[in-house]
Structure 1
Amino acid sequence: MIYHQLALNVPLDTLFTYAHPHRLPEGTRVAVPFRGKTVAALVWAADVAAEIDSAKIRPIAQVFDHEPPLDADWRALLQFAARYYHYPLGQAVFAALPQGLREARPVAPPPVAQSFVLSATGLTQAAPKAHHRKQLALWQALQQGALSLPAAKAIHTQAPSLLKQWQQQGWLDAIASPAHGAMPPSPHVLNEEQQAASQAVQAACGGFAPFLLHGITGSGKTEVYFDIMAKVLAAGRQVLFLLPEINLTPQLLARVQQRFPHTRTAVLHSQAAAGARTQDYLRAQSGQAALVVGTRLAVFTPLRQLGLVVVDEEHDSSFKQDSDLRYQARDLAVWRAQQAACPIVLGSATPSLESWHKARHGDYRLLSLGRRAHHAAALPQIVLADVRRQKLDNGFSAQALALLQQNHAQGGMSMVYLNRRGFAPALFCGDCGHTFGCPHCSAKMVLHQQARQLRCHHCDFRQPIPRICPDCGNQDLTAVGHGTQRVEETLRQALPGAAVVRVDRDSTARKQDWAQLYERIDAGAVDVLVGTQMLAKGHDFARLNLVLVLNADGSLYSADFRAPERLFAELMQVAGRAGRADAPGRVLVQTQLPDHAVFQALKAQDYPRFADAELAARQSLGLPPFAFVAAIRADAPSMSEAVAFLRLIIDEQANGFRLPETISQFGPVPMLMARLAGRERAQVFLEGTQRRDLHHSIGLWRQLLRHFETTHRAIRWSIDVDPTDI
């Protein structure tokens, strides 16, 4: 028997030894017995020496040898991720796999993609009648050469049935479809800035080169991506394209499919059906898919011919995983590009300060797009409305309502932006002051009027709207604050003839909701959009020429040092939705802090001014990116238990586990969201200027956490390296 070390999906810092009669290739997926059941595992090392009694080594139950092994580069990526984020290797491996490959059963290989060509018999057939225009167009496309099914469906929605019928009649032959198909010419002509950016990246192909593409909103960053991608795909290489949230950018996906209709594309994200995601993952691994488009999870896709990585909206916090393996996909994407010796393009109108700092210091090459791509489009005019002494109508100033009414009368389209869901943030008793908090979290319940519910937006606890105050019995309960449902209601009263549409996670829960919304907007059937962060990302509405921002100041009161950066990015992104076509754009931002540096930089639409000032402030305070941070977190039934557990480990450090002098340790303190889902949460911060010393310190903490968890079973702990949620 030959011994193999396997990675299993268990929370232990070890590989497990199993036996098999033959040496299995590393990266092979297998099934093994483990604690009374059969589980999936991955061969990590083969032909190893037995470190335990050979009589105790169990045999591998099944080998899925029809599946291609996961290659050495993929395993090196997971080895690095597990080490850097201080997470068990086996769990990291299985977090990176799609659901189908996590299960202890074989997975059918994806069917080979087919294209269709006219047979000898088909070449002699008469074309369809002229009045069957789409059938004729499909037939004419076949006369030009091989046609893939996606390309055929783009010509005629009934293409699958027609192609099957013509194949049965002997008019068509099916052939294997290449992953890299013909590249149609781009319908867009790049301007000088776009050409310079594209050519700079293309010139770097063949080696590792990180680029930060800083382009103002509407500057045409996507067309720069596409121009570079076209060259890389034409050279037979694969492209990894990462998006922050794939369900928020249907326009971009449609543009990808239009620009590369003959290129096999895999779409990978957590909302995809498990089977479809597994099949697309295998297509990418085998090379059947040349282009991979996905969210942060797609960074782990095995790609043997990787030639380019693109991270769009690289500043977005969605690239950071906030549970289990707490990885930052943007950073892993840079590591992958270096591993594959290929360029990576990080694009944003408001880059993360970490990326901007690296560009300023030459670690990344900065590429700039300073004007809008549409010849008639200009940056919108941003006006700050000081509402400190104004009486507001459900959050609206008189100036805001007048602008909305005027724009509607002139045929324009408006957006009202509010970063809150629900009818109102809280339900309040005016007699005794009682507010309705979540019984499981340290957060207020949000009133959802249409559903007649109070909901917690953290743990999703729900209850019917109470009829009376539980403290004093008052029946006159008041909604305080302004959520999207209340704003929508106010607008319907102020603009009785306008088509007002609310866009948030409640109104776009179904898969087809976004497509239907775009159809309505394209048809001119929407006058006012009311929405949350979902409207700030990646959308291009030609008619939109007025944006109104309510409650802009809220996040500035946060204890998180990243709050100004996030607010500036959020407001710049949402302001950038206005005036992207012929109509000039206007943005009105209601604020009680008009002199704040964030709003002054926003008014000037000057990202470098904001970023450089914020970086100077962080440097003076020793905050990232001038320091490296990790958070050690514990949650327990009570706060005292969580704090005591962390304090126990700090006290134990005096017994030979002393941290390096370059590392500062703060806490334990309650987390900002101190109670979540019925558990109390506390944390300790480790901070220092030397990354190596920080990781050494985390390693010491991890040893002690493992040691004491056996005697504190009510405690759950986690480690977050480079946390974004402080």
Structure 2
Amino acid sequence: MSRSGWLLRVALPSPLRRYFDYLPPETAASIGPGQRLRVPFGRRQLIGVVVDRVDQSDVPENKLRAALECLDEQPVLPLPLLELALWSASYYHYPPGEVLATFLPVLLRQGEAAEFRSEHCWVVNDGVEPDQLKNAPRQQALLQLLMQHPHGLADEALRAQQFSSALVRALHDRGFISRQERPMEPLHWPEGDPLQQSPLPLNEQQQQVLDQLNENQTGFSCSLLQGVTGSGKTEVYLQLIEAQLRQGRQSLVLVPEIGLTPQTVSRFRARFRVPVVALHSGLNDRERLDAWLQAGRGMAGIVIGTRSAVLTPLARPGMIVIDEEHDGSFKQQEGFRYSARDLAVMRAQREQIPVLLGSATPSLESLHNAIEGRYRWLKLSQRAGGARAPSFELLDICHQPLDEGLSEPLIQRIGLHLARNEQVLVFLNRRGFAPSLMCHDCGWVADCPQCDARLTLHRSPARLHCHHCDLQLPLTGRCGECNSTDLNAQGAGTERTEATLQRLFENYPVLRVDRDSTQRKHALQKILEQVNEGGPCILVGTQMLAKGHHFPKVTLVAILDADGGLFSADFRGMEKTAQLVLQVAGRAGRAEHPGHVIMQTHHAEHPRLRSLIEQDYTEFARQELSDRRLAKLPPYRYLVMLRAEAVAQGRAEIFLQWVRELIEQHDWPGVSWLGPLPSPMEKRAGRYRAQLLIEADQRKPLHPLLSWLSRTLEEWPQARKVRWSLDVDPIDNF
């Protein structure tokens, strides 16, 4: 037994699926779950999180080491969030220390204090009088401003008042002011009405939905809000959050893409007087910690972020909203492979708060839960403000000549809409100039040397780029086999489509929106500002255009390759295609101008395509669910993917075959397996990959197998020759 009568059970950032026991540090006061410790680990020191206080350990007392120091006076993770982390580690079968590290900002993982950053400010020195600067009126004005703020002002505040750095430096050099460091002043809720902008009027459907949701503003409930694009889901979110703010509670809003975060934050800040903070990968480590602390200490009324924001503590949690809940970006694809949507539901249940899932095209899993009555199912079938849903047209391009992927009827329709001073959106979910580069003389194709994939040709700047491993090669202009210079770009990407549209419609601006064109800071915002000016233009881009944007002057949406997911090897391919098509189509006709959607296709009579445009998404989804039931696929069956990769070809498959034989030595009722099989893209980033699928009709029998398997592989010498991972509830099969 320790000198204090208790031990500390600690989760450390280690690949081992276990906890570690330590004696309390010499200076131990009150240490409990959720606080961070610095501990010795081998020859290193690590930052861990206390998960429990225990009376005894499996490790002999004479071998227990003492923690070096406790880094926090109070827990950095509140108990509900700590419990969620430990549940996540158990459900996803991932090392608990790595999971808890994911719940913490980078600076806290590194041992930094859980405090706001300091900032430099300028203060007036003792004995200084403004009269001493009679002959320097600007310096005198600056001095008088600083005298009104005895605690000082930072450089940013002085620049906002039109005082230059040179002016500040001049006062400093003359000995009138000094530079001091002070803690940053965090934002605080103002007293009184949280609104600074009146809510928009709701139509009858929106009001009914809001009334039903307001019935359950306390306690756990999960609701699915299925609203067609443009139906005003965001206004419903805003008015729900207003009710939470009036009761002093915080709200967490998850959005799928970093590109949507700034515009969402702007809209919420325009509506509410309370502090609104954003959490996403575009922030630096210091900015992220400050936002995280404001959320955890109750200073931020609203927290908006991408996937990892679901792990953010809230001092007074009120509700969670997940916008575009169907989006695949809510599933982490590397390391700790959690689903932010599913964790949000579990978190809401633990914290006894409502969670709202919103989408025009819900995932089949969420829709199935709504049909079965596990989620409350609310619908908005009308567009807000009297706007009409767009009309659809399947344009059969079989036997038609194409100009870089554009058919003549489509070109004519684009010109017609532009001539009416309207805007056109052209959707193609392929970046770059062309998907591949081929030699006309020998048939050589530029392949990625590290992946089973072709290199994409880019023109600005000129290069060959693998979008799977990020390898980039210079464009030499010669064949890699026969040295010929007769190289042809095969197919069209967004760059090529942009160039073609600029040639065909030279009098109109063509704006490209994809990951390449929006890499620079504020690039997307500048493009959207130009679109929102309302002049005739053509938007061409990838799925970045499909989510959440409001383009009131877009009246025509052209989908160049509507057949992309019809014959996918992924059983979710048709679902993803339908969601993408309807989300893109939803950009058309969002104001008083009617919208039209043209889908170029080689399969105009395909039954699922026709179902998609002639019936609503729900009917399409019911047909997909019926097929899934017959095929025993999710959501009627539960899947786990055991993935392995190795440098040598075949080694991953051999390893998984050993795993299968190991599993088959035991009886696992209700569980079956398929494989091992090479991954659909076997070679990626220089490593060969394979997978073993484990499945069951119920979740319950899966987890004993996975728990046993993860512990066994962790101790198995053969498992150290490959990289392996468990993906519970996978959404991709690559």
TM-score normalised by L of structure 1: 0.89
1:103 pairs, out of 105, 110, 122, with 110
2:83 pairs, out of 76, 83, 98, with 76
Give the distance between the partners of 2:52 and 2:108, measured in 1 at CA. Answer: 19
* Letter matched to residue 65 of structure 2: R
SS of equivalent residue, structure 1 residue 431: coil
1:509 pairs, out of 497, 504, 519, with 519
2:374 pairs, out of 363, 371, 379, with 363
Q: In the superposition, relative to structure 1, how do residues 201 and 664 fare at CA in structure 2: closer, same or farther (>3 Å)?
A: same
* Letter matched to residue 505 of structure 1: R
* Letter matched to residue 515 of structure 2: R
Give the distance between the partners of 1:218 and 1:611, measured in 2 at CA. Answer: 20
Query: Does the 8 Å CA contact 2:414/2:424 hold for their aligned counterparts?
Result: yes
Give the distance between the partners of 2:636 and 2:187, measured in 1 at CA. Answer: 53
Give the distance between the partners of 2:118 and 2:220, measured in 1 at CA. Answer: 34
Give the distance between the partners of 1:159 and 1:579, measured in 2 at CA. Answer: 43
Cα displacement (A) at 1:249? 4.5
1:395 aligns with 2:405: yes
Cα displacement (A) at 1:330? 0.5
Cα displacement (A) at 1:159? 7.1
> Which range moves more in the overlay, 189-198 or 1-10?
1-10
Q: In the superposition, relative to structure 1, how do residues 32 and 193 fare at CA in structure 2: closer, same or farther (>3 Å)?
A: same
SS of equivalent residue, structure 1 residue 514: helix
Give the distance between the partners of 1:67 and 1:75, measured in 2 at CA. Answer: 13
1:238 aligns with 2:250: yes
Q: How does 1:249-328 map to 2 (within 5 A)?
A: 249-260=261-272, 262-328=273-339
Q: In the superposition, relative to structure 1, how do residues 176 and 513 fare at CA in structure 2: closer, same or farther (>3 Å)?
A: closer
1:213 aligns with 2:217: no
Cα displacement (A) at 1:259? 1.0
Cα displacement (A) at 1:54? 2.7
Cα displacement (A) at 1:179? 6.7
SS of equivalent residue, structure 1 residue 561: coil
Query: Does the 8 Å CA contact 2:85/2:99 hold for their aligned counterparts?
Result: yes
**Deviations for 1:201-248, whole angstroms, at most 9, x for unmatched residues?**
111111111111010010000000111110011101111111111323
Cα displacement (A) at 1:520? 1.2
Q: 2:347: which partner in 1?
A: 336
What CA RMSD, in Å, does the superposition of the two structures yield over aligned residues?
2.3
Give the distance between the partners of 2:636 and 2:588, measured in 1 at CA. Answer: 35
Query: Does the 8 Å CA contact 1:391/1:397 hold for their aligned counterparts?
Result: yes
Q: 1:670: which partner in 2?
A: 678
TM-score normalised by L of structure 2: 0.88
Fraction of identical pairs, as percent: 41
Query: Does the 8 Å CA contact 2:33/2:75 hold for their aligned counterparts?
Result: no
Q: In the superposition, relative to structure 1, how do residues 211 and 33 fare at CA in structure 2: closer, same or farther (>3 Å)?
A: same
Give the distance between the partners of 1:176 and 1:651, measured in 2 at CA. Answer: 58
Give the distance between the partners of 2:74 and 2:19, measured in 1 at CA. Answer: 22
1:372 aligns with 2:380: no
Cα displacement (A) at 1:157? 10
1:17 pairs, out of 6, 12, 21, with 21
SS of equivalent residue, structure 1 residue 331: helix
1:60 pairs, out of 67, 70, 74, with 67
Give the distance between the partners of 2:715 and 2:50, measured in 1 at CA. Answer: 28
1:449 pairs, out of 429, 454, 459, with 459
**Deviations for 1:66-118, whole angstroms, at most 9, x for unmatched residues?**
45442211111001110110101000000121111110232424689xxxxxx
Q: 1:697: which partner in 2?
A: 705
Q: 2:442: which partner in 1?
A: 432
Give the distance between the partners of 2:312 and 2:191, measured in 1 at CA. Answer: 18
SS of equivalent residue, structure 2 residue 403: coil
Give the distance between the partners of 1:200 and 1:691, measured in 2 at CA. Answer: 32
Cα displacement (A) at 1:161? 8.2
1:229 aligns with 2:241: yes
2:42 pairs, out of 35, 42, 51, with 35
* Letter matched to residue 379 of structure 2: S
* Letter matched to residue 87 of structure 1: Y
Q: 2:623: which partner in 1?
A: 613
Give the distance between the partners of 1:179 and 1:41, measured in 2 at CA. Answer: 36
> Which range moves more in the overlay, 675-684 or 296-305?
296-305
Cα displacement (A) at 1:473? 2.4
Q: How does 1:76-225 map to 2 (within 5 A)?
A: 76-109=83-116, 158=160, 177-178=188-189, 182-184=193-195, 185-225=197-237
* Letter matched to residue 109 of structure 2: R
Q: In the superposition, relative to structure 1, how do residues 107 and 272 fare at CA in structure 2: closer, same or farther (>3 Å)?
A: same
1:658 aligns with 2:667: yes
* Letter matched to residue 556 of structure 1: L
SS of equivalent residue, structure 2 residue 431: coil
Query: Does the 8 Å CA contact 1:639/1:682 hold for their aligned counterparts?
Result: no
Cα displacement (A) at 1:176? 8.0
Give the distance between the partners of 1:47 and 1:694, measured in 2 at CA. Answer: 30
Q: In the superposition, relative to structure 1, how do residues 349 and 157 fare at CA in structure 2: closer, same or farther (>3 Å)?
A: farther
Q: How does 1:484-563 map to 2 (within 5 A)?
A: 484-524=494-534, 527-563=537-573
* Letter matched to residue 530 of structure 2: R
Query: Does the 8 Å CA contact 1:334/1:344 hold for their aligned counterparts?
Result: yes
Give the distance between the partners of 2:502 and 2:358, measured in 1 at CA. Answer: 38
Query: Does the 8 Å CA contact 1:631/1:683 hold for their aligned counterparts?
Result: yes
Cα displacement (A) at 1:442? 0.9
**Deviations for 1:117-145, whole angstroms, at most 9, x for unmatched residues?**
xxxxxxxxxxxxxxxxxxxxxxxxxxxxx
**Deviations for 1:576-616, whole angstroms, at most 9, x for unmatched residues?**
00010111111110011112233213322511110100000
Give the distance between the partners of 1:695 and 1:619, measured in 2 at CA. Answer: 22
Give the distance between the partners of 1:175 and 1:412, measured in 2 at CA. Answer: 45
Q: 1:480: which partner in 2?
A: 490
* Letter matched to residue 625 of structure 2: L
> Which range moves more in the overlay, 523-532 or 682-691?
523-532
**Deviations for 1:322-354, whole angstroms, at most 9, x for unmatched residues?**
011101111111111111112111000000001
Query: Does the 8 Å CA contact 2:116/2:186 hold for their aligned counterparts?
Result: no
Listed as ranges, the gaps of 5+ residues in structure 2 are 120-152, 169-176, 178-184
Cα displacement (A) at 1:652? 2.1
1:351 aligns with 2:355: no
Query: Does the 8 Å CA contact 2:642/2:725 hold for their aligned counterparts?
Result: yes
Give the distance between the partners of 1:414 and 1:69, measured in 2 at CA. Answer: 49
Cα displacement (A) at 1:35? 3.0
Q: In the superposition, relative to structure 1, how do residues 531 and 249 fare at CA in structure 2: closer, same or farther (>3 Å)?
A: farther
Give the distance between the partners of 1:631 and 1:439, measured in 2 at CA. Answer: 26
Q: How many residues align?
A: 672
> Which range moves more in the overlay, 269-278 or 534-543?
269-278
* Letter matched to residue 541 of structure 2: G
* Letter matched to residue 687 of structure 1: E
> Which range moves more in the overlay, 506-515 or 628-637?
506-515
Cα displacement (A) at 1:525? 5.1
Give the distance between the partners of 2:396 and 2:363, measured in 1 at CA. Answer: 28
Query: Does the 8 Å CA contact 1:67/1:109 hold for their aligned counterparts?
Result: no
